[in-house]
Amino acid sequence: MTDWLDDIKWTEDGLVPAIAQDSVTGRVLMFAWMNRESLAMTVEKGEAVYYSRSRQKLWHKGEESGHTQKIKSIRLDCDGDVILMSIEQTGGIACHTGRESCFYKEFVNGQWQAVDDVIKDPKDIYE
């Protein structure tokens, strides 16, 4: 039997892009990277675990903020090179800026504008 992780087309760095989408609204909440270990841990824990390229280590989403992501489903795209996770976002905050989504800036009149409100001040999240 083939290991299910072998069905994924990993980058040269051993990573795969992962998109977290709200299971109820369908809104894209964030994008991050996963490696084999983080994806296997995600399946095992039932909560999102990513790979931080800047810190060069695994990152259990919500380990500092408490804003974990409970996995509802995991899908692989037709090319086998992108993961889409349907998740339940604890606390309604996925972004380190204290917003629901990391995609809170919209291109309006030739510039990027924040169009989503901060739900909770990051200073109150990360002490």
Residue with tokens 């695994």: 58
Intra-chain end-to-end CA distance of the chain, in Å: 46
Angle at 126 between CA 125 and CA 127, to 5 degrees: 110
Provide the residue type at 55 as one letter: R
Domain count, the chain: 1
Average pLDDT over residues 40-61: 96
Q: What domain range is 61 assigned to? A: 4-125
CATH number for 69: 3.10.20.810
pTM (whole model) above 0.85: yes
> Per residue in 106-122, pLDDT tens?
999 999 999 999 999 99
For 47-109, strand residue ranges (E) read: 49-52, 57-60, 69-76, 83-89, 105-108
